[in-house]
Amino acid sequence: MNWETLPDYPALSARAASLLLDGIRHDPKLVLGLPTGSTPVGMYDRVVGECKSAYHCFREVVAFNLDEYVGIPRDHPGSYFSFMQQHLFKHVDIDEKNTFIPNGRAPDLKVEAERYERAIRNAGSLGLTFLGLGSNGHIAFNEPGTPFDSRTHVVALSESTRRANAAFFLDQPVPTHAITMGIGTILESRSIVLLASGAKKRDAIARLRTGEQSVDFPASALWSHPDVLVLVDEAAAA
Ligand code: GLP
């Protein structure tokens, strides 16, 4: 696992954006794994800024989001579908048919999870995946206790995760369940970049740094992967 500490959130976002854009320059048909949450917003802003003026960045790129809430319509402002439209997809030249997000309203979520796994496989597997970090160590929506070989599945969200995401739902209740790529799915990505910013993530980063692997701390699964870069800002690293 490689580590880089950036001075602050803007620097971390710029570094993450340049890794994403370099990935596409190197392989215009790159298959991305993409996160939501507040941490990647700065990265997306920079990517959009560059792609608007520079060149047709996303023309052949394929993107798989990590997760989606169960039970809310995709145009709900709190959905990850809406998040991705707002922060990335509607601003760049990505082909809509190359954007994949689990359907949290599918009639049979188990079938939907299998369909999602198949779609990733058919795309040739994830090439470069960006992850955020939950303060309890979750990656995507894989909460503590999730087996490291898990595939895309439905998960009950922990109270702390629901609280942490309440801002995206204003006065409405945060959904109780989500559908998420499994840890095993994520570990098959050729390269992984984990982003963590701010003092709220300091304890989780300190725990990750120990290198001790435990299903109680999902991000620790990343120690089994040969190509992981952790980007932290000083507030998260201290
Ligand atoms: C949510 C997402 C995760 C994300 C986490 C951290 O739970 N499902 O993929 O990593 O939030 O979010 P934030 O970046 O807002 O701290």
Q: Which atom of ligand 1 is nearest to the CA of 80?
A: 8
Tokens of residue 167, six digits: 């801002």
Label residue 164 by pLDDT band (50, 70, 90): confident
Q: For position 161, what pLDDT does the model report?
A: 86
The answer to whether the CB of 196 falls within 8 A of the CB of 205 is: yes
Q: For position 18, what pLDDT does the model report?
A: 96
Q: Mind telling me the catalytic residues?
A: 67, 136, 138, 143
How many other CB atoms are found less than 10 A from the CB of residue 82?
17
Which residues does a 6 A CB cutoff place in the pocket of ligand 1? Answer: 35-39, 66-67, 132-134, 140-141, 161, 165
Chain position carrying tokens 């160590």: 137
In the chain, how long is the greatest CA-to-CA distance? 46
Label residue 196 by pLDDT band (50, 70, 90): very high
> Which residue has the least CA distance to atom 5 on ligand 1?
134
> Which residue has the least CA distance to atom 3 on ligand 1?
140
